[in-house]
């Protein structure tokens, strides 16, 4: 048995693709199904691109249904998690791109953000936690994650 992907339904494909690219993921492939009226977009983390190309895993699959639907329960899903080389730099890049940092990396180790479709994404510092630094150390939580 091996892990393949996590599927996330999205309501705004353009906004979601921008979010996952800003997060640092790479679009690996895209499939439009006119008969089924949906688009699938597969993303991989940079360190997983080789495996994604060869095995189509591990990936995040965005599913965009062309006919409008309302999705609920993003919080019930739980979250996606990625390790990053520098959590402060990652959070700054995301903030500069318009993403709200819901749970700032006050501890130099963990942060949470949400996608345009309210999917929680956990960011974890690779290796040892970084020393506390501003503005993160005193930044309050925003919303839920």
Q: Which residues are the active-site residues?
A: 122
Rounded distance between C-alpha atoms, residue 79 and residue 63, angstroms: 16
Rounded distance between C-alpha atoms, residue 17 and residue 110, angstroms: 23
Rounded distance between C-alpha atoms, residue 91 and residue 145, angstroms: 15
Among 59, 3, 5, 55, smallest CA distance to 27 is for: 59
Phi, psi of 51 (to 5 degrees): -65, -40
Among 136, 138, 123, smallest CA distance to 86 is for: 123
H-assigned helices in 32-102? 49-55, 74-77, 87-96
């Amino acid at each position: 048995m091996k892990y393949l992907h996590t599927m996330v339904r999205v309501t705004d494909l353009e906004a979601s693709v921008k979010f996952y690219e800003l997060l640092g993921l790479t679009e690996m492939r895209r499939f439009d199904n006119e008969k089924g009226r949906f688009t699938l977009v597969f993303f991989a983390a940079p360190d997983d691109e080789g495996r994604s190309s060869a095995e189509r895993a591990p990936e995040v699959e965005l599913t965009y249904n062309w006919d409008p639907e309302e999705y609920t329960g993003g919080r019930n899903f739980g979250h996606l998690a990625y390790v990053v080389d520098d959590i402060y730099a990652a959070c700054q890049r995301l903030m500069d791109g318009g993403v709200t940092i819901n749970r700032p990396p006050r501890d130099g180790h963990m942060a949470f953000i949400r996608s345009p479709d309210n999917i929680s994404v956990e960011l974890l510092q690779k290796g040892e936690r970084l020393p506390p630094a501003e503005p993160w150390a005193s930044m309050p939580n925003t919303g839920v994650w």
